[in-house]
């Protein structure tokens, strides 16, 4: 579904990604683990078109998407749940979800063509409310008044409203209480079973590897190791560096 080949990205004169290559197959959960500053978030932002590719290619299916504008990448089928959630705090839960569907013609909001399909939008809204019942209860509440866990649920639900083929999740457990972390990872597995392919960046390497099918280890802008998630869980170097043993 997704392939990066020898991708280089820089912030000004400083090269951050130094030849990153990875693949994500349809139906997988793939995780990238590594220390802070390794380039994990930059990889996701580069896939989404926020950071520009200096060299290398990114393909989604048979389509090259490197350096496309972000909104075109969303239309192509990629949604991101960014680090820190980044919901719209002054908009209601429902309005945040409408923004997630903005690129669709069935968002209930007229597109440039003037077409809407409120029935399809409402059906998808009902699905995310089934997945996150608390959001239904908070439907008219402003996003900024939600708890951290509720905001994370809203960020995931907003990304789902774009009907992505591939969802990019950046540190979904960041700052959450342990019981909420468990729930978020359960949701990730549920989404995957329902057909959403997932690329996950997560500091909690153990939990990420426990739900992933494959994993990559990133250090200083390079992929230094790749294997099945189970193999990485039992790799002595990974255990020493990232699993706290």
Looking at per-residue confidence, does 245 or 26 come out higher?
26
Structural domain boundaries in the chain: 2-242
pLDDT (0 to 100) of residue 82: 87
Is 66:56 a contact under the CB 8 Å cutoff? yes
For residue 27 the two structure tokens come to 């139906």
> Is the per-residue pLDDT at 113 higher than 90?
no
Q: For 161-204, what is each residue's pLDDT tens digit? A: 988 999 999 998 888 888 888 988 998 999 999 899 999 999 88
Of the candidate ranges 7-21, 103-117, 144-158, the one whose mean pLDDT is the lowest? 103-117
| Burial of 69 per CB tally in 10 Å (0-12, 13-18, 19+) | exposed
Dihedral sign from CA coordinates of 59, 64, 69, 71: negative
Q: Options 2.60.40.10, 1.10.620.20, 3.90.850.10, 3.40.50.300; which CATH number does 2-242 get?
A: 3.40.50.300
Mean pLDDT of the chain: 89
Distance of CA 111 to the CA centre of its chain: 25
pTM of the predicted structure, to 2 decimals: 0.88
Q: For 41-50, what is each residue's pLDDT tens digit? A: 999 999 999 9
CA distance 26 to 23: 10
| Number of neighbouring beta carbons within 10 Å of residue 206 | 15
Distance of CA 115 to the CA centre of its chain: 28
């Amino acid at each position: 579904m997704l392939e990066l080949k020898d991708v280089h990205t820089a912030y000004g004169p400083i090269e951050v990604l130094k030849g990153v290559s990875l693949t994500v197959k349809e139906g997988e959960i793939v995780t990238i683990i590594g220390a802070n500053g390794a380039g994990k978030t930059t990889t996701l932002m580069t896939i989404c078109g926020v950071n520009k590719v200096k060299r290398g290619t990114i393909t989604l299916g048979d389509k090259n998407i490197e350096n496309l504008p972000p909104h075109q990448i969303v239309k192509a089928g990629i949604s991101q749940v960014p680090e820190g959630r980044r919901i719209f705090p002054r908009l209601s839960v429902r309005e945040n979800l409408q923004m997630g569907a903005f690129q669709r013609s069935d968002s209930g909001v007229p597109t440039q063509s003037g077409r809407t399909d409120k029935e399809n939008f409402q059906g998808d809204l009902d699905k995310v409310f089934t997945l996150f019942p608390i959001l239904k209860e908070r439907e008219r509440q402003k996003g900024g008044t939600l708890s951290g866990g509720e905001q994370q649920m809203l960020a995931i639900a907003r990304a789902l409203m774009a009907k992505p083929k591939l969802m990019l999740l950046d540190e979904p457990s960041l700052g959450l209480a342990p019981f909420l972390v468990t729930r978020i990872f359960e949701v990730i597995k549920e989404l995957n079973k329902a057909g959403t392919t997932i690329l996950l960046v997560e500091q909690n390497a153990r939990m990420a590897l426990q739900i992933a099918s494959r994993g990559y280890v990133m250090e200083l802008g390079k992929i230094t190791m790749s294997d099945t998630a189970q193999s990485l869980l039992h790799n002595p170097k990974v255990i020493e560096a990232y699993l706290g043993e």
